[in-house]
Amino acid sequence: MPIHLSRFLVCLISSQIAAISAQELAHKDVSEEPGRELTVTDASPVLSAMLSSASSPNKSAAFSANAAARIELSATPIIQPMLGATPWDWRTTIPGVISLGQYQFCDSMPASRSAETPYMPGGSFTTNYRTFLDLIDDSDPTLKTQIESARQAVKTPSESPVNSGNPPDGWAKVTDEAGQLQWRLIWSVSSMPSDWTTSVSDDLAVKFSFANNQNPDVKRSLLVGPYQLQAKLPDGDTISLSDDSLQSFSIEFEASGWVAIYPGIWFDSGLVNLAQHRRLTFQPGYDHASFFGRRGLLAQRKAGFLIGSNPTMSWSSRDPVNTKIEAATSVSGGGITLEKKGDHFVKIESQGDVTQYSVNPIYTELFIIGVVVERM
């Protein structure tokens, strides 16, 4: 069963979320757009406290023992909201094989370890870890064997993944973008989408939202900024609503918990610990800060991620655009597209030329809506 958190509301938003897929958005530098600012508010400590109160992440009974160590969250874990909800659709049907999406998400380092920024992907953790091992000064005879063993653990197997049976310890097979099977250092997760349970009582349901600046709960938000909503018309055309015609916008998720990410047994926590405590030396030109400073190669990693389900999209829009919206077949925003429920969107209320709408179709997909960051 997932760890359920107390009821709360976290507001998230990004610029042009509706027009850009979550994957494209991850590579978009929003900060460079003039007039578009994202603000992480003081709700972050609230979310952190709720997360740290959970004794453990959601864990599958079939969770692999190939993980190096159980995650231990600090008293104030770092939470970074996603710029848009990302579908959690990882599938594994063949033993020893993990999906490309799972590998890339787990291996991608957060670009920052600050709780005051939204999540943006950085470099590859396994690539940087290999660099760390290569640059350790191995002249100390008391550590030479351990260092050599750690380096050997990250050497790519010589046998082709196509012809091999079960992967060696610490390794997995991943099908790349070209459809070719490749060896990759394994990342394990405490739960997969097929293990997830989202049936929770109203008293335990978690409320996350993407919302705009005019949302009344904005003071309890985690991330606030510009917004956009798109509606798809029956003829295939789309209309975009932004500040002029959109009065408010939010997407609410329910039934949430979190999933832990573990490095495989290729990760030598002992060597990393020695380096963190300045008990290792490095090749000339490199020092402790090169790896564990704010911009170090191993400054932070993903320790887990937050899951949301059952999204409800609500918005208030102004005439005359409402006529087109009511004819639309679907609406998109915050990385999510929701089809019209029945033959209409639910009207909550109307005041003058402003109407509030809501749509909550039967939706079984799960979404990654935040990242737990561990400082190394």
pLDDT tens-digit series, residues 232-269: 988 989 888 876 677 777 777 765 678 899 999 999 99
Q: At what angle do helices 125-134 and 269-276 cross, to 10 degrees?
A: 70
- Is residue 14 within 8 A of residue 118, CB to CB? The reply is yes
- Is residue 119 within 8 A of residue 80, CB to CB? The reply is yes
E strands present in the chain = 9-12, 39-40, 78-87, 108-110, 121-124, 171-175, 181-185, 187-189, 207-211, 223-224, 229-232, 238-241, 246-263, 300-318, 330-333, 336-339, 346-351, 354-359, 366-375
The b-or-e profile of 270-281 (16+ CB within 10 A means b, else e) is: ebbeebeeeebb
Q: At what angle do helices 144-153 and 269-276 cross, to 10 degrees?
A: 120
pLDDT along the chain (376 residues), means of 10: 30 25 29 39 46 48 38 62 85 84 96 86 96 95 95 95 89 93 94 69 44 50 61 88 74 75 94 94 95 94 87 82 85 81 72 82 78 89
Question: Which residue ranges make up each domain of the chain?
Answer: 9-375
- Amino acid identity of residue 220, one-letter, is R
- Amino acid identity of residue 346, one-letter, is V
Distance CA 297, CA 132 (A): 8
pLDDT tens-digit series, residues 76-131: 668 888 877 889 999 876 778 999 999 999 999 999 988 778 889 999 999 999 99
